[in-house]
Amino acid sequence: METKKVKTPLTEKDIEELKAGDKVLITGVIYGARDLVHRKFIELIEKGERLPIKLEGQVIYYVGMSPPPPGKIAGAAGPTSSYRIDHFTPKLLELGLKGMIGKGPRSEEVKEAIVKYKAIYMVTIGGAGALLSSKIKRFRLLAFEEFGPEALTEIYVEDFPAIVVNDIYGNDLYEIEQKKYRR
């Protein structure tokens, strides 16, 4: 299967062309945020306050980077388990978030929201944080410094590898692949 190159922010056309099982290389700005940031986003939304980023078309990577070693731009940047973010995800998709990167399956509620709001969920390789950090060309702290390595970051990546798991057509790569091995 061919690897597709995508640039951020994602467009509706990008989303329509990506299907479960597609390998992608992402170039552009993605945002690093884990559960603490997502909880804060929901608090701000409920108070009617502005978020520190505009969600429309954006991709959030569920990552908390380790400090960079000497001479490196970023430390290890492996994904965290996406189920930890599931409770917050539908609201952010409703507000325009188009892509998420993490590891592991998503809840039924999130999969339904992905279809409803036309977004995609991608996974990247857990345990390959050092390799993934080599795709980071620059990053900066944006907000919530008090969250330490889980603060909101803006990350510029080049050819960041991921695989589409959930698409707007209701496909789930985990389910597709498991069916191949059931008797």
Structural domain boundaries enclosing 59: 3-180
> If you average pLDDT over residues 49-62, what whole number do you get?
97
Rounded percentage of the chain residues whose pLDDT exceeds 70: 99
Question: Is the pLDDT reported for residue 3 higher than 80?
Answer: yes
Report the domain count for the chain: 1
Give 7's pLDDT tier (boundaries 50, 70, 90). Answer: very high
CATH of the domain at 152: 3.20.130.10
Question: Whole-model pTM?
Answer: 0.94
Rounded percentage of the chain residues whose pLDDT exceeds 90: 77
Q: Which residues form the catalytic set?
A: 38
Residue 55 C-alpha from the chain's centroid: 12
**Cα–Cα distance, 58 to 62 (Å, whole number):** 13
> If you average pLDDT over residues 37-61, what whole number do you get?
97
Give 177's pLDDT tier (boundaries 50, 70, 90). Answer: confident
pLDDT of residue 183: 64
DSSP state of 149: G
Q: Which of 65, 63, 82 is nearest to 165 (CA)?
A: 82
Q: Which residue has the tokens 């990577």?
A: 61
Give 125's pLDDT tier (boundaries 50, 70, 90). Answer: confident
**Cα–Cα distance, 108 to 166 (Å, whole number):** 11
